[in-house]
Structure 1
Amino acid sequence: MSQYRHEVEAGTVIEPHRHDGDHQLLYVSNGIFATKTEHGTWVASAQRAIWTPAETWHEHRVYGRTLVHLLRFPAPEELFPGDRPTVIAVSPLLRELLMACTEDGLPEDEAHRLRAVIRDRVRHADLAPLSLPAARDPRLADACRLVTSDLGTPRTITWLAARTGTSDRHLARLFRAEFGTTYPQWRTNVRVFQAMVELSDGATVTETAHRCGWATTSAFVDTFARTMGQTPGAYRAAALP
């Protein structure tokens, strides 16, 4: 089947696999769907969809009540270059198209017309990466583990450098070289992702802000809204049964 929708239980893990002849466009209208490859983790949500190229080994993990909308494209239809997943912003129009195209019992001719419009919209979609790259350098990997193991406690890059046997300047260079971002930007992505998990599990906005290391709830609400396009309260309401 080229397109379908299905509900996936919270906590589901889909073991490593690949699609030999098809690319995959995955969108979730509820919940969080994380795609992991050897290069890192990419996150789909109600505002983002993930394009996974054919032949790419990947696994999935589901957080919260998740409704998946999935379209497959034959290998010649390469909408994005490269061998790594791509995260795109899902506009209101693209959201409605994806949901309509994955309706049960949709006639094939109607699905064909919808897919043609989806291809055009996806090609013109903004890239909206919410990804957690995998570190190659052992010092960078250690720094990342120190941060993610205790998000509630802010860690400066100087503190991390001292505990990973490098200088803060060199560690900052590693973040830019391997992740293409600064340490504060990377940490924000990690905290937003964990906040999505906490909210999907039923934590309150205030509890989530504290657990993920924001000094105030208002600062958390502002960062989450700018990153995800909706307030954490709205996200929580949509994610819970």
Structure 2
Amino acid sequence: MSPTRQPDQPPAGAPRAAVPPAPSPPSPAADGGGAPPRQRLDGPTDRTLTHRERIDWHFHDQHQLVHPSRGVLRIFTAGGAWVVPPHRAVLIPAGVAHAHQAHGSTRMRTLAFPRSTDLQRTGALRTDRPTVLAVGPLLREVIVALSDAEPAAARSTRQRRTLEQVAIDELRRVDALPLLLPTPADDRLRALGALLHDDPADPRSLAELGAAVGASERTLSRLFHREVGMSFPQWRAQLRLHHSLILLAAGSTVTATATACGYAHTSAFVEAFRHAFGTTPGRHRDPAPPPDRVTPRRSPRPRSG
């Protein structure tokens, strides 16, 4: 049985850039729902998700490669959230419970690989949690070729396996992108995180936020390093970048996104975005489409006489 899909559209006419991203879905255990269901993967898929549509918690017996060719995906696990920009991909290891949420109209293509598939070569891919990946032109074309229904149906088993092996070879040499926002376990860090998820532009210092959640600055600083492996400024910067991707997918301007994410100057936001994602927020929001396949044209016949 497929996991539940839940559209969550903003009211008509509402300024979507002002709508904060929905909070992370609670884990099944925290929600009293028990273990998440197993979802069977029968092969590549190509589906469209509406803005804020969710796919509830589930897991697979196979590794799954998820590639949003349009829109932004957030992937949730018990350990944190990953944001997957367009033209990137995320590898979700077999057995890892997860949920999805789309931001903006999102086209989601997926491939599946048996659990026994060895995807490691450079060590970039994790087997215990998702990994967001850079997708080069060859891997992108293979994902499209395998997930497009009509061309895929016409291919022989040998042709399909050849393309799958190309995808595996490409995955073994990809670069991982640092797009994880870890989820802390401590209740005080969770309360602090909820405040910043509601308003990423909140300018309060760690000491001021600590006063709001009932903990000292020193205690919170120690907890951040111990539970999420980064400092509070690093964690807040990552949260703001996550938020910016979601706002851009919803149609927000670069300037409005910078303000909503707490940047005093748009130029500072552009530089932070470029450093994290390798492109500017303007180019990310309005990417140039991949070049169309060019069909060779026949040479004109010479005219007689």
Cα distance, 1:200 vs structure 2: 1.3
Cα distance, 1:102 vs structure 2: 2.3
Checking the alignment, whether the CA contact within 8 Å between 1:26 and 1:44 is kept in structure 2 is no
> Normalized per residue, which structure has more helix?
1
- The answer to which of 78-87 and 68-77 deviates more is 78-87
Identity %: 38
- The answer to which of 142-151 and 96-105 deviates more is 96-105
Q: Which amino acid aligns with 1:237?
A: D
Q: Distance in 1 between matches of 2:115 and 2:139?
A: 22
Q: Distance in 2 between matches of 1:118 and 1:111?
A: 11
Q: Which amino acid aligns with 2:173?
A: H
Q: Which amino acid aligns with 1:41?
A: A
Checking the alignment, whether the CA contact within 8 Å between 1:30 and 1:238 is kept in structure 2 is no
- Report SS of the residue matched to 1:98: helix
Q: Which amino acid aligns with 2:52?
A: G
Counterparts in 2 of 1:176 and 1:95: CA distance versus 1, 3 Å: farther
> How many residues were matched structurally?
238
Backbone CA RMSD of aligned residues: 2.0
Matches within 5 A, 1:53-92: 53-79=93-119, 80-92=125-137
Matches within 5 A, 1:1-241: 1-19=42-60, 21-79=61-119, 80-104=125-149, 105-106=151-152, 107=155, 108-238=157-287
Cα distance, 1:136 vs structure 2: 0.4
Cα deviation digits, residues 123-145 of structure 1 (max 9, x gap): 22222131222210111111211
Q: Distance in 1 between matches of 2:280 and 2:224?
A: 28
Q: Distance in 1 between matches of 2:258 and 2:274?
A: 13
Cα distance, 1:110 vs structure 2: 2.8
Cα distance, 1:88 vs structure 2: 2.3
Checking the alignment, whether the CA contact within 8 Å between 1:143 and 1:161 is kept in structure 2 is yes
- The answer to which of 95-104 and 214-223 deviates more is 95-104
Unaligned runs of 5+ in 2: 1-41, 120-124, 289-305
Unaligned runs of 5+ in 1: none
Provide TM-score, normalisation by structure 2: 0.72
Q: Distance in 2 between matches of 1:110 and 1:154?
A: 55
Cα distance, 1:78 vs structure 2: 4.9
Checking the alignment, whether the CA contact within 8 Å between 2:62 and 2:112 is kept in structure 1 is yes
Q: Distance in 2 between matches of 1:16 and 1:3?
A: 20
Cα distance, 1:221 vs structure 2: 1.1
User: Stretches of 4+ moved more than 4 A in 1?
Assistant: none
Cα distance, 1:81 vs structure 2: 4.7
Q: Which amino acid aligns with 2:113?
A: F
Q: Distance in 2 between matches of 1:168 and 1:234?
A: 38
Q: Which amino acid aligns with 1:6?
A: R
